[in-house]
């Protein structure tokens, strides 16, 4: 899901990059205000976890690969704004050092995996968990559902960003300048990979690790995963 440079027009990258600036600013303000000192190291650990889990590529039947991200897990434990910061930092190092995701496309990748994913996954979790106590079976299952939904909506966003390129940007002779595939190819390809395979990996990772954190460090996880 890490969009490389060249697949999106510079204008697409700049637009979503511009959207990210106030989001990062707000995330910092919320983190500064609400994250208590005891949970700070866990924010760094969350960023490291997201980086590592993204290295586990899983095979997709069509011959491509996909991976889990970990954003929803961080959002449930530390709050969605903390997830914005932690996952953005992981994506930044991936682009800068390992060329995984473009530098110009960094804002777009952050928008998909560090904003859409943690927020949609977190609110899906809240909806599914209801008033269930953190660590209860219902909350653990809800965390899995949140992970599944969050990853798939991030994948859908990436598919749309890929798919609108040939509609908007073509060379004089009509050949696409950037991503050559339109929505009718990009959406099925991205969604098959994530709905059928990677989404379940994300669900399992989110549910298991959230359960682990609730069990080993209950004081770290937000009570019922709420607030913050």
Partner 1 sequence: MIRRCWILLIVLALLTPLGMLAEGTAWGEWGADDLTAVVGYVPQGIEQADSWWKAVFPDYSLKFIGEGEAAGKIGYLLSAGIGAGLIYLLMTVYTRLVVGRRTLPVPEKKG
74 to 133, contacts with partner 1 by CB under 8 A? 85-86, 89-90, 92-100, 102-104
Provide the mask over 171-190, with x wherever binding to partner 1 is found by CB under 8 A and - wherever it is not: x---xxxxxxx----x--xx
Is residue 51 at the binding interface for partner 1, with CB under 8 A as the rule?
A: yes
Residues written for the chain: 228
- Candidate list 67, 111, 115, 210; residue touching partner 1; CB under 8 A: 67
78 vs 115, beta carbon nearer partner 1 = 78
- Candidate list 193, 201, 203, 210; residue touching partner 1; CB under 8 A: 193
124 vs 156, beta carbon nearer partner 1 = 156
Q: How far is the CB of 199 from partner 1 (least distance, A)?
A: 14
9 vs 152, beta carbon nearer partner 1 = 9
- For the record, the structure tokens of 62 come out as 């069509």
Is residue 14 at the binding interface for partner 1, with CB under 8 A as the rule?
A: no
Q: How far is the CB of 93 from partner 1 (least distance, A)?
A: 5
Distance separating alpha carbons of residues 209 and 77, to the nearest angstrom: 10
Count how many Cα atoms sit within 13 Å of the Cα of residue 32 in the half-sphere of its side chain: 6
Phi (first) and psi of residue 66, to 5 degrees: -150, 175
Q: How far is the CB of 64 from partner 1 (least distance, A)?
A: 5
Q: How far is the CB of 178 from partner 1 (least distance, A)?
A: 4
Per the CB < 8 A criterion, the answer to whether 136 and 218 are in contact is no
Which residues, in sequence order, are bridge partners of residue 58?
66
Is residue 60 at the binding interface for partner 1, with CB under 8 A as the rule?
A: yes
- Candidate list 21, 59, 223, 226; residue touching partner 1; CB under 8 A: 59
Which residues within the stretch 130-159 sit at the binding site for partner 1 (CB under 8 A)? Answer: 158
- Candidate list 32, 131, 137, 184; residue touching partner 1; CB under 8 A: 32
Per the CB < 8 A criterion, the answer to whether 214 and 135 are in contact is yes
- Helix (H) / strand (E) element for 43: namely helix 40-53
């Amino acid at each position: 899901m890490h969009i490389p440079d060249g697949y999106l027009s510079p204008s697409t990258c700049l637009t979503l990059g511009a959207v990210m600036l106030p989001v990062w600013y707000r995330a910092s303000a919320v983190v500064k205000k609400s994250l208590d000192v005891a949970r700070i190291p866990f924010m760094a650990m969350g960023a490291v976890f997201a980086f590592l889990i993204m290295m586990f590529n899983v095979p997709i039947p069509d011959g491509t690969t996909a991976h889990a991200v970990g954003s929803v897990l961080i959002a449930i434990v530390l709050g969605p704004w903390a997830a914005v910061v932690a996952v953005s930092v992981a994506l930044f190092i991936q682009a800068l050092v390992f060329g995984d995701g473009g530098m110009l496309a960094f804002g777009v990748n952050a928008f998909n995996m560090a904003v859409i994913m943690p927020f949609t996954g977190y609110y899906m979790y809240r909806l599914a968990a209801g008033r269930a106590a953190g660590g209860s079976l219902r909350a653990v299952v809800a965390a899995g559902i949140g992970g599944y939904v969050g990853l798939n909506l991030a994948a859908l966003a990436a598919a749309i960003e890929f798919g609108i390129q040939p509609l908007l940007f073509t060379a004089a002779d009509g050949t696409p300048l950037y991503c050559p595939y339109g929505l009718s190819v990009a959406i099925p390809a991205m969604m098959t990979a994530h709905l059928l395979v990677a989404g379940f990996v994300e669900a399992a990772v989110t549910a298991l690790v959230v359960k682990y954190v609730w069990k080993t460090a209950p004081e770290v996880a937000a009570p019922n995963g709420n607030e913050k």
